[in-house]
Amino acid sequence: MPSWYETIIDEARLTAQTLLDRAENLASPTLRLGITGLSRAGKTVFTTALVHALMRGGRLPVFRAMHEGRIAGARLEPQPDDDVPRFDYEGHLATLVDERRWPDSTRRISELRLAIDYAPARGGRRMLTLDIVDYPGEWLLDLPLLEQDYAAFAAQSLRLARAPARQALAAPFLAELKATDPDAPADEATARRLAGLFTDYLAACRTETVSMSLLPPGRFLMPGDLEGSPALTFAPLDLDEGREPPSGSLHAMMKRRYDAYKDTIVRPFFRDHFARLDRQIVLIDVLAALNAGPAALADLESALDGILGAFRVGRNSWLEALFRHRIGKVLFAATKADHLHHTSHDPLEAILRRLVERALARAHSAGSEIDVVALAAVRATREAMVKRGRSHLPAIVGVPEAGQHGADAFDGLAEAAVFPGDLPEAPSALFDPGVGFSGLSDAQGGDFRFLRFRPPLVERNADGEALALPHIRLDRALEFLLGDRLK
Ligand code: GDP
C-alpha cells in the first residue's frame, strides 16, 4: 500500500475519532491523561495513588482545587473505549493497602474514567470527565520506527548492540547473527531463534544493575497481548548497505515482518491512543539509572530524546496529521523519591530537569508546555536521625521487602534504617565521566542501592476504607496536570 494512501485512511479515522471526542467534550468537558514510563518506572502505583487522591483527598496543599475545598467528589464511571482493558484500580488499591504489597506492573494499555464534580473559583458547579490511559513507555519509543525502513532499523539496532555498554549482553545474539546468511532461504526456526536471542539481549539490558532505557522495538519487552505472534518474530540482520532482499530469503521475511510490526501494531497505537491524549505524564526511574552508572544515564538521555520526539510536530510527515490534536502539557516525573532524604529531592528534580532540557535543546521545536518534578506516588519510608558513632545522621526508615540481599535477607516485617547517598547539589557533577551516585548504604556500609521497601501502613476510617496515602509532591503533579481545568 502506498504511504499517502495510509496517511489518508489514518487521517480519516483520526478525524472521525476527534469529532466523536469533541462532541463528547461539548456535552461534558473531558480530559484524556496519558500515564507512561518504562517498565518498573511506577505507572501502576502512580495511577492508583492519583485516582485515590482524587476520590479520597489527603494532604495535597499544592493541588489548589482540592486544598480550597472545591472538589465535591470524584467517582468511577464506565470508560469510553470498549476494546481497551479497564485499569484494575480496586484490585491494585487492595494489594497496596490490605496486603501491603506493590501491585502488578503495567504490561499493556488500560483505561479508567473518573467524573470529578467541582466548584469553579467563580462559583457554580461543574463536572470534568478525566480519562486516564496507562500504557508502556516502551511503545512510545517505537515512534521513530515509523520513519525507518528495515535496513535502517537493522543498522541502528546493531550499532547499539555493539556499543561498549551493551556488547557483552548482546554477545549470544551477535554470535548467532555471524553464523546467519541473510540471503539463505526463509526459515521459521531461524527467525524464531534470532528473535528469541534478540529479545533476551534487550531484556538483559533492562535488569536493575544495567538499567538501559532505549531498547526498541518496544513490544519485544512489552508484547501486551501479542506475545509469540509473527509480527514480533523478527530481528535485525547484518546487511550489506543498499542490498535488496532476494525473494524467499530470510532477509525478505524479516523485512516483511518488520513492516507488519509497524503497520499493524505501531501505527494503530499512535493513531488510536497516543494521538488522542491531551496531557501526559512520563514517569522515570532516575534513581535506577543513577545507581546503574554513567552508561545507563546516557542511555536514558537518548530515550528522552525519543520520547520528546513523540511530542513535537514533524514536518511533512504522517505524524503531522496525527499531531494536529496536540498534547498540551507534558510532565516528566522522577519517581520513588522516598528512597532519598528530603534534602535530595530538589537535586533529583534538578538532574531530571537537566536531562530534559538537554533533550529539548536537541529537539527543533516542542509544542507542549513541559515541567519536571521529583515525587513518590506512595511514600514507603519516613525520615529519622540515626546515631552513628558520635554523630547523628539523617536516614530513611522503612520495611525492606522480604528476601532481598541473599545471606542477610530481610524478613519483610522489621524496619531498617539506611543512609541514602547524597545527590550532588549541582547536577552537572553527574555528567562528568566517572562521577556516579554512591547510593544507599547501611551502617555497615553494605550496598543497598537496589533496596525495595514495602508499601506503608495506611490508616482507615470506620468503614475500613483507606484514608489518604502518604506521598511526596503528588499534589504538584496533580496541579500541573489538572489544576487549570478545575479553576
Ligand atoms: P510500572 O511497571 O511502571 O507499572 O511500575 P509499578 O508501578 O508497578 O512500580 C514498580 C515498582 O517500583 C513497584 O513494585 C515498587 O517496588 C516501586 N515503586 C513504584 N512507585 C513507588 C513509590 O512511590 N515509592 C516506592 N518506595 N516504590 C515505588
- Which single residue is written with the C-alpha cell 525519543? 306
Ligand 1 binding pocket includes 285 (Cβ within 6 Å) = no
CA–CA distance, 328 with 160 (Å, rounded to integer): 32
What is the per-residue pLDDT for 325?
60
Statement: 3-135+273-379+471-486 belongs to CATH 3.40.50.300:
yes
Tell me what pLDDT residue 438 has: 56
Question: Residue 373 has which C-alpha cell?
Answer: 518534578
Please state the rounded mean pLDDT for residues 468-472: 97
Pairwise CA distance, residues 217 & 264, whole Å:
13
**Which of 440, 115, 62, 162 has its CA nearest to residue 288?**
440
User: In the prediction, which pLDDT does 314 show?
Assistant: 43
Q: Give the closest residue to 143 by CA, choosing from 270, 41, 257.
A: 270
- Which residue owns the Cα nearest ligand 1 atom 6? 42
- Counting from 1 in the atom list of ligand 1, the atom nearest the Cα of 49 is 23
Task: Return the C-alpha torsion angle 454, 138, 335, 69, nearest 10.
Answer: -100
What spatial distance separates the first Cα and last Cα of the chain, rounded to whole Å?
Answer: 48
Under the banding of pLDDT at 50, 70 and 90, the label for residue 315 is very low
Is the Cβ atom of 37 under 6 angstroms away from ligand 1? yes
If you measure from the C-alpha of residue 40 to the centroid of ligand 1, how many angstroms do you get, rounded to a whole number?
6
d(CA 440, CA 389): 18
Taking the CA of residue 39 as reference, the ligand 1 atom at the shortest distance is: 2
Q: Which of 226-240, 277-291, 316-330, 454-468 is predicted with the least confidence, judged by mean pLDDT?
A: 316-330
Looking at residue 429, its pLDDT comes to 65
Residue 42 phi, psi (nearest 5): 120, 25
**37 φ, ψ (degrees, to nearest 5):** 155, 160
Whether residue 153 has its Cβ less than 6 Å from ligand 1: no
| Ligand 1 pocket check for 376: Cβ under 6 Å | yes
- Closest protein CA for atom 14 of ligand 1: 102
Distance CA 338, CA 375 (A): 8
Q: pLDDT tens for residues 1-39?
A: 555 566 667 777 767 777 777 666 666 799 999 999 999
Give me ligand 1 centre to Cα 45, in Å.
6
* pLDDT, position 443: 45
Per residue in 335-345, pLDDT (tens digit) is 999 999 999 99
Name the closest-CA residue to atom 9, ligand 1. 42
Domain range summary for the chain, segments of one domain joined by +: 3-135+273-379+471-486, 150-266, 382-442
CA torsion angle 174 178 179 180 (round to 10) = 90
Q: Does position 151 have pLDDT exceeding 50, yes or no?
A: yes
**pLDDT class for 225, splitting at 50, 70, 90?**
confident
Ligand 1, residue 106: give the atom nearest the CA.
Answer: 4
Q: Which of 35, 36, 39, 40 to mutate to test the pocket of ligand 1 (most atoms within 8 A of CB)?
A: 40
SS (H, E, C) 383-395: EEEEEECCEEEEE
Nearest CA to ligand 1 atom 17: 42
Residues 6+ away with beta carbon under 8 Å from 196: none
Regarding the beta carbon of 42 and ligand 1, being less than 6 Å apart is answered: yes
